[in-house]
Chains A and B, each alone.
Chain A
Amino acid sequence: MAVVEARRVTRLFPMAAGPVAALRDVSLRVDAGEYVAVSGPSGCGKSTLLHLVGVVDQPTSGEILFEERDVAGLSEAERSRIRLVRIGFVFQRFFLLPMLTARENVELPQAEARVPLADRRARTRELLEYVGLADRADHLPSQLSGGEMQRVAIARALANRPALLVADEPTGELDEQTGEHIADLFGRVHADGTAILVVTHNPMLAARAQRRVTMKSGRLVA
């Protein structure tokens, strides 16, 4: 079963000089438990595709089906709910809340999903151990390295047991060795059954994927 499917989606951005097509007639499907990597040169539309598949943005034309539901007809509150409990997001710049500890950052989406406190605490402990940061739980992001922050971000993205993990250049701001650790972590997440869609320039990260797609000028070429 497809977790998410994009059917002939096009995304135009209005500009002063005329609309720019970031995506043209792209179709992509990610099945449950599948690991897909999207590569391509800068500006080819990778992040735009990621945002559409992650239900963060809406296509100008075409369909996005999440778990066989057309998201176009959903309200913003419903899309928000999908992002909260069915999709996990990992960003290039981590975007951890700077005033919350690692533990609190991971708890936040669970609190929004109204997970009871005891369950939240247990799940958070489990996730921080999973990403190897159990001993840094009470540290603020300013006290963590880049790689550690990204691991906390991954734990946060997994907090509500999403069906799909979406990552936009997760190793973009990390050194090679740290990137490798993140790639290993993604491998473990995939092995545990979560579908992953990652946009990356990093060949090592892309190599871990089951399927690689390449984009150029807003289209899938391979």
Chain B
Amino acid sequence: MTSLWLAWRTTTRYRVRAMLAIVGVAVIGALLFDMLLLSRGLLDSFADLLRSAGYDVRIIGSEGLPIVRVPIAGAARLAADLRARPEIGDVVLVRIERATAQGAGHPPRPITIVGTTQIGGGPYTIVKGEDLPATSSSWDRCPILVGRRLAAALGVAPGSSLRVSVRPEGIRSALPPIVCRVAGVVNFYFAATSEDAVATTMDALQEALGTSGESADLILVASRPETGPAAAVRVIQQLRPDLRAYSNEDVLAQFNQNGFAYFRQISFVLSSLTMTFAFLLVATLLTVSVNQRLGEIAALRALGIGRARIASLLLWESALLVGAGAVLALPLGGLLALGLDRLLRQMPGLPDRLHFFVFQWRAVMMHAALFAVTAAAAAGYPVWLATRLPIAATLRREVVG
């Protein structure tokens, strides 16, 4: 005859109200769980995205967020100097331009064209075909990888041809189009869902631009594991103090400070509100329930059932209601998170692989801890009420009432 057993019997006796309370806690708990996932989800997803590229330092030519593009002069020379340093594992030059692409029988579509010196294993997953070749040949001067959405829109597949006209900023007249061979169809990690992108070799892009290989918009650097990205950043700053070098941690910190601020705040606000909500409602339910049973409780006290036992009984009642709701909240929250994630990913300009709600065990632990505190706090007033009631006066009132 433990307090838990007694609490269980009380809860099952008042089945309807218990079920409704559990459903209420579960729904609110689902929202709380999702806010806990959101509190770090976007950040963790973005970190995952950054790491997936395989490089841990980014060099750009301007202040501010490292997505603003100002050309980096002398990029090839810098890359060569970096490769010679023991702290540096690999260096890749990236250039990004606007262009149009036209497939047979289709009108031109605006695209983003990315030229890279990376050989194999870029920030994309090959869906069909093959990766860019290590070197370009005279008969294949413009191999390209086409994003899946664009490939479907243009009706191209590996082996097809595309006419690409590059339209760099600041140049008024359009450059002559070049014919490119589709080497593969890919899912780009960093492309927005609504963005059409292609990737090609740096040589091919520069040939299309009619320029030599001295500038880039972005330089990706992989540090050696034994020295780490901080050492790589120091090296870069020594070689080129006019440039901005950001490790992945720096990028994340900026993102956390700026881009993620809204979600962090709303996560905090909604987490607090849902906890307060759950507390108020369970406390109200328990208090009303205790008020209904005052005669019973006074009789138990008169029979010699101690205050500690009464308190324990009520705490277990709270724990059962809140606990059952909290457990049910997890799968419910998971489903809700899928829906909310799908909704939020409709935001323009977001990479396809970015998610707002990312499962973490830490969130489950926090969810459990918060509900444990809520259950204890919600039982506070009813316990006080039940353990402090004047036995004789209550018995008298119950008889008269």
Contact = CB atoms under 8 A, between A and B. Distances in A.
When A and B assemble into the complex, do they touch directly, with CB atoms less than 8 Å apart?
yes
Interface of A: 47-48, 51, 54, 56-57, 76-77, 80-85, 87-89, 91-93, 95, 97-100, 104, 107-109, 111-113, 156-157, 160, 168-169, 172
B1 A57 contact: no
A56 B392 contact: yes
A89 B305 CA distance: 12
B307 A95 contact: no
B305 A93 contact: no
Contacts of B299: 89, 91, 95
Nearest to B14: A99
A95 B296 contact: yes
A84 B302 contact: no
Most A Cβ at <10 Å: residue of B10, B307, B395 = B395
Given A56-B391, A56-B392, A99-B13, A111 B303 contact: no
B98 interface: no
A82 B13 contact: no
Given A93-B398, A95-B295, A111 B306 contact: no
B341 to A, nearest CB: 43
B309 interface: yes
Given A83-B303, A89-B299, A95-B398, 8 more contacts: A47-B399, A77-B307, A82-B304, A88-B303, A89-B302, A99-B9, A112-B1, A169-B399
A89 B303 contact: yes
A80 B1 contact: no
A81 to B, nearest CB: 7
B10 A51 contact: no
Chain B, interface residues (CB within 8 Å), range: 20 to 34
B306 A112 contact: yes
Contacts of A51: 391-392, 395-396
B295 to A, nearest CB: 6
Contacts of A160: 304
A109 B305 contact: yes
A83 B302 CA distance: 7
A114 to B, nearest CB: 10
A100 B293 CA distance: 14
B141 interface: no
Given A48-B392, A51-B395, A91-B299, A112 B12 contact: no
Given A89-B302, A95-B296, A109-B303, A57 B391 contact: yes
B12 A104 contact: no
A56 B396 contact: no
B301 interface: yes
A112 B392 CA distance: 21
Contacts of A91: 299, 302, 395, 399
Closest 10 CB pairs of A and B: A84-B304, A95-B299, A111-B1, A99-B13, A83-B304, A57-B392, A51-B392, A99-B9, A56-B391, A89-B302
